[in-house]
Amino acid sequence: MGILVRQSLFNTALAYFGILLGFVNVVLLYPRVLAVEEFGLTRLLVSIATIAAQASQLGAENTIMRYFPYFRDTARKHRGLLAMLLLFGLAMSLLAMIALRALHGTLTAVFADRNTLYGAYGLLLLPIVLAEIYFILLRSYSRSLRRTVQPTFIREFVLRALQTVLIVAQWKLRMPFGVFMAAYASLFLICTLALVLDLKRSGHFDLGWEHRWLPGRLKRSLATYTLFTFMASIAGMVLGNMDQIMIGALLGRDALAQVAHYAVAFYFGSVIAAPGRALQQVATPMIADAWKRHDHGTVSGLYRRSAFVQWLVSGLLFVLMFTGMEDLFALLPPSYTGASLVAFIIGLAYLLNSSIGLSAPVISMSRSYALDAYSSIAMVLINLIANFFLIRSMGVAGAAWATFIALTTVNAYRTWFLWWRYRLWPYDARFLIVLALMLALIFVVPWIPLTGKPMLDLPIRAALVVAVFVPTAYALGLLKDAEAMIRKAMGASTSKVAK
C-alpha cells in the first residue's frame, strides 16, 4: 500500500506539473503562435494517432498488467516477455502504418479544409503512431514492474516541456510550418526512446528471448482476455479524440478551426480527470495481484477510498475551473470564447466519472473482464451515435454532450454491476457533504467583485476557493482518507531511507 500511495502522489504531482505546462502551451502559446487551422491540425493528428495506436496494440496494455504476475521471474528475465512485446509492437506498427498510408487519400477527402493542411502533412501520422504503440507497450511493462513514475514523468512532463520549447522556437524563428510539424512529430519518438533508455538504465531492458515462455493453456487465456479487452483499451481514448475527429469530418471547411476550439475547451474540462489517471496507473497492477490472491478486502478498500479521494480532489478542481471560466477564456483569442460551454460539460462529465473511483480496473482485472469489454463497446457506440447527430445540430457543444452521455450511462451500469456481482459500493454520506460544499462555492465565489483583470482575478479566485474548501473539508473530517494516504507514503519513504 505504501508503494501505491507514494507513487500515486508522485504521479499526481507530475500530472499537475504537466497540466501547468499544458496550460502554457494550449492557452498562451499555440493559439497565438499558430494559425487556428494549424493548431487544429496538430490536435487532429494526435487524436487519429492515439486511436490508431490503441487499436493496433489490441488490448495488450491491460493484458500485460493482468498477466505479468505469471511471468514475473527476475532470474529468467521475466520469461522473455519484453522480447515478445517488442516483436508484437513491430508487427502491429508496420500494419498500422501501411493501413494509414493506404488510407491517406480517403482521409484527406474526409478532412478537407480550405488550407489543404491535412493533405500536406497527414503522413506525419506514421512516426507518431509508431512512437505511440511502443510507448503504450513499454509503459505497461514499466508499470508492471511497479515503475509508474518514470513513464508518467516522460508523458506528462517531458513531452509537454519539449512542446513548449518547440512552440517558443517557432515563435522566435518563424520556421516553415512543414519544418515545425516534422519537429512536432519527432517529439513523440524522442519520448518513446527516453522510456527505452530509462528501462535500460534501471536494468529492466533484458529481452530474455532465450527464456521465452508461453504455454498453450496460458496462450489461450491470454488470447481470450485480449479479445475481450480490445475495445476496452480504446474506449478511454475514443472519448475526446473521436470527438475531434468527427468534428473535423462533419463541420465542413472551418472544421480545423472548430477542432482547435474544442481541443482547448476539452483540455480545461479534462484536467479534472488527472487525479484518477495518476491513481489508476499505480493501482491497476496491485488490483491484478489482489484478484489473483482472491483478496476481496484489498480490492474493496482500494475501490472505496479511491472513489472518495477522487471525488474530493476532482470536486475542488471543478469548482476552480467553474469559478475561473470567464477569466480563463478571456486569456484566449476572442474566437475561442464560445467554447466555454464545452469546458463546463466535459468538466461535469469527468467530475461524475471521478466518483466511481477504480471501477474500470477493478472489473478489467477480475474474472468479469468480459463486462469491461461489453461496456466499453457500448460507450464507444453511444459516443459515435450521439456525436453523429449532436455535432450536426449543436456543433462542438454537441460533441461535449456526446461524451457526457456516453461516460455517465456506462459508468452508472458499471457501478451497479460491481454492487450486484461483488458487493462493492463506493458511496457514503460524505459524497453529499462534498457536493454541498461545491455548490456553495459555485454560487458565491463568481459574485465576489475583483479587479476585472483576468491575469490577476484568476489566481485570486483560485486562492479564495482553496482557502474555503480545504479548511472546511478538514473541519468536517473529509480529509481523513487523504491524510492517511499521505502518512503511509511518508512512512514508506522514511522506511526506505532507513534501510
Please spell the DSSP secondary structure of 8-60, one letter per residue. Answer: HHHHHHHHHHHHHHHHIIIIIIHHHHS-HHHHHHHHHHHHHHHHHHHHHTTTH
pLDDT value at residue 358: 81
CA-CA distance, 55 to 66, in Å (whole number)? 18
Sort 269 into a burial class: Cβ within 10 Å, 0-12 / 13-18 / 19+: buried
Is the Cβ–Cβ distance between 317 and 465 less than 8 Å? Answer: no
Helix (H, G, I), strand (E, B) or coil at 424: coil
CA-CA distance, 166 to 154, in Å (whole number)? 16
Sort 293 into a burial class: Cβ within 10 Å, 0-12 / 13-18 / 19+: exposed
Amino acid at 202: S
CA-CA distance, 210 to 71, in Å (whole number)? 14
- Mean pLDDT, 10 residues at a time, the chain of 499 residues: 56 72 83 88 90 82 73 65 86 94 88 75 94 91 79 88 94 93 96 92 74 64 72 64 84 78 82 74 73 83 85 92 88 80 91 86 82 84 92 91 92 92 89 94 90 88 93 88 56 39
pLDDT value at residue 192: 95
- 215 φ/ψ angles, rounded to the nearest 5 degrees: -65, 160
User: Nine-digit cell at 340?
Assistant: 466555454
Tens of pLDDT, residues 184-240: 999 999 999 999 999 888 887 777 666 665 666 666 777 777 777 776 666 666 666
CA-CA distance, 314 to 438, in Å (whole number)? 10
pLDDT value at residue 490: 45
pLDDT value at residue 274: 74
CA 219 to chain centre: 29
pTM of the model: 0.73
372 φψ region: left (φ > 0), alpha (ψ -120 to 50), beta (else): alpha
User: Nine-digit cell at 215?
Assistant: 504455454
pLDDT value at residue 7: 58
User: Nine-digit cell at 337?
Assistant: 470564447
What are the CB-based long-range contacts (under 8 Å, 24+) for 414-417? Answer: 414/356, 414/359, 414/360, 414/363, 414/371, 414/375, 415/356, 415/359, 417/363, 417/368, 417/371, 417/375
pLDDT value at residue 178: 93
Nearest to 33 by CA among 172, 171, 237, 213: 171
Amino acid at 30: Y
